[in-house]
Amino acid sequence: MDGINYFSAFLIGLAGGVHCVGMCGGIVAALRMVSPKGASAAPYTLAYNMGRIASYTIAGAITGALGKIASDFVPLASYVLSLFSGVMLLLLACYLGKWWTGLTLLESAGKGLFSKLQPLSKRFLPFKTPFSAIPYGFIWGWLPCGLVYSTLTWSLAAGNALQGAGIMFFFGLGTLPTLLAASAGSQYLVSTFQQSGVRQLIASIMAIYAIYLIQGAIL
C-alpha cells in the first residue's frame, strides 16, 4: 500500500506541475539573476528544488506524526483521518482535472506563516555557491499552495512520520520535472503537462483511487 501511496503522490506532483510553474516558475527563472555571472544556472536550480522538496518532506513528517498521535489517543481517529484523506484526495483530483477548484481557498491558510519566513530568504541572496540556494528553496517551499496543503492532509492519515514524509517527498519529486523544464526553457515538456488529456487522465486515476480509499475507510 505504501508503494501505491508514494506513486500516487508522485502523480499528483506530476499533474500539478503546471500549477507549480505558475506559483514558483517565476522564482525558478529569477534564479539566473541571483546566480554568479557566467555560471550555469542548473546547479542552483537543482539546489533550490532540493531545499523546496526538503521542506515538503519535513512538513509531511510533522503531519504524519500528528496523525499517529491522534490515532493512538483518540478513539476512531484513524478511521476519521482515513476518510478525511480520501475525501481530500478526491477533491484534489477534481482540482487537478479542473472539475472544481475550491481547494485554492486553502492557500489563504498559510499566508501568515509565509509572510514571516519570506524576509529570511533575502539573507541568502545573491547566491555565492549552489549550497546557498538550498536554504532559499527550503523557505520558499512554505509558499502557500492549495496543492501542497491538500496533499499534506493525505500524509496526516499516512500512519506515522516516516510514511507522511515519504508521501510529501514523492509529491515533491513529481513537481520537479516541470520546474526544471521551465528553468531550462523546455516549453515542449511544460506544454505536455498542460495538455488537457494528460491532466484528465491523471485526475481520473486519482479520483478512482480516492474512491477506493473512501470505501475502505467506511467499510
Say what the pTM is. Answer: 0.84
Contact call for residues 81 and 176 (beta carbons, < 8 A): no
pLDDT band (50, 70, 90) for residue 181: confident
pLDDT recorded at residue 150: 80
pLDDT recorded at residue 192: 63
Which of the residue ranges 13-17, 131-135, 148-152, 192-196 would you say has the lowest mean pLDDT?
A: 192-196
Total domains, the chain: 1
Residue 78: domain span: 2-218
Residue % of the chain over a pLDDT of 70:
82
pLDDT band (50, 70, 90) for residue 66: very high
- For 76, left (φ over 0), alpha (ψ -120 to 50), or beta? left
Does a cis peptide bond (omega within 30 degrees of 0) precede residue 36?
no
pLDDT band (50, 70, 90) for residue 7: confident
- pLDDT tens per residue, range 140-164: 888 877 788 888 888 888 889 999 9
Nearest partner of 107 among 145, 59, 150, 152, judged by Cα: 145
Mean pLDDT in the chain? Answer: 81
Distance set, CA 117 to CA 10, 46, 134, 138, 152 (Å): 27, 21, 15, 10, 19
- Rounded distance between C-alpha atoms, residue 66 and residue 56, angstroms: 15
